[in-house]
Amino acid sequence: MRGLGDLYLQQLKTGLATMLQYRGSLVIWLIGNVLEPLIYLVVWSTVSRSTGGTVGGYGARDFAAYYIVLMLVNQVTFSWVMYEFDYRIREGTFSADLLHPLHPIHADIAENLSSKAVSLPFMIAAAAGLSVVFHPVFRLSPLAAAAFVPALVLAFLVRFLVDWTVALAAFWTTRVSAINQIHYMAVLFFSGQIAPLAVLPRPLQVAANILPFRWTVGFPVELLLGRVTGPRILAGFAVQGAWLLAGALLVRYVWRASVKRYSAVGA
């Protein structure tokens, strides 16, 4: 365990140093992460205003609250490991990482966390700015706030494991952009990013409950906003737990099968 702790600490340090080195890129990247939820916020607020009431139980200011929280949750849980893996395998830089005694997913998680540590203050500032512009209504309860924290941690882990498994496709095919695109769209629809799940047609809502994506973004957001209550909170945690287990197993077995296929330039 000491080795693992050291690795995380060291990765966090080097990750922070790297992130702070390239501040220009960081700002550009943050603009993108703010703009996407902002677009859907504006679209859905416009829709709810033009209907003169609410859409799926959301008024204009509820949509503002939803998307501002979603922006932060998405920022915490998302990863870019699919895009990194494509490069690693194609360019053969993964060969050295494979010699490390620890599973490479740990280095990726630590790197992800260090970049989040740098970017989160900016995102919170952006959320504050958007709150001033769009007047969101938050109805926070202590229970929801308390349940939100473990839900967010689970969401991060589930999303990372699923993303990492998808990223392993790079071992099997050298051009993975179509797979990444399909994955991105699944996340868009089923995680609650294109619209809150309550706005979607019934069959899509059912699918979203089964697939992992809702549990990596939408669930913590709805939880904090008090839209998931009572026994449905516990049910949500149960599904998150099930996906955590499934994700861990997926990573374990897909990883083993994938590594056998590895053939780098120069290997």
Partner 1 sequence: MRLFRLLWVFLRVGVMGEAAYPANFLAHLIDSVLELATALAGLALIFAHTSTLAGWRPDELVALVGVYFLVGGVIGLVIQPGMEQLTESVRDGTLDFTLTKPEDAQLLVSVWRVEIWKVVDVGLGLVVLGIGLARLGARVGAAEAAAFAAALVAGGIIVYSFWLILATTAFWLVRVENILVIFQSVYEAGRWPVSIYPGWLRFALTFLVPVAFAITVPAQALAGRLTWPVLGGAALLAAVFFLAARLFWLAGIRHYSGASS
Residues that bind partner 1 (CB under 8 A): 22, 24-25, 28-29, 31-33, 35-36, 38-39, 42-43, 46-47, 50-51, 55-56, 133, 175, 177-178, 181-182, 185, 188-189, 194-195, 199-201
79 or 240: CB nearest partner 1: 79
**Residues 77, 215 contacting (CB under 8 angstroms):** no
**Residues 211, 185 contacting (CB under 8 angstroms):** no
36 or 262: CB nearest partner 1: 36
33 or 77: CB nearest partner 1: 33
CB of 33 to partner 1, least distance (A): 8
148 or 213: CB nearest partner 1: 213
CB of 114 to partner 1, least distance (A): 17
CB of 101 to partner 1, least distance (A): 30
28 or 265: CB nearest partner 1: 28
CB of 138 to partner 1, least distance (A): 20
CB of 183 to partner 1, least distance (A): 11
3-state secondary structure the chain: CHHHHHHHHHHHHHHHHHHHHCHHHHHHHHHHHHHHHHHHHHHHHHHHHHCCCCECCECHHHHHHHHHHHHHHHHHHCCCHHHHHHHHHHHCCHHHHHCCCCCHHHHHHHHHHHHHHHHHHHHHHHHHHHHHHHCCCCCCCHHHHHHHHHHHHHHHHHHHHHHHHHHHHHHCCCCCHHHHHHHHHHHHHHCCCCCCHHHCCHHHHHHHHHCCHHHHCHHHHHHHCCCCCCHHHHHHHHHHHHHHHHHHHHHHHHHHHHHHCCCCCCC
Find the length of the chain: 267
CB of 24 to partner 1, least distance (A): 4
26 or 239: CB nearest partner 1: 26
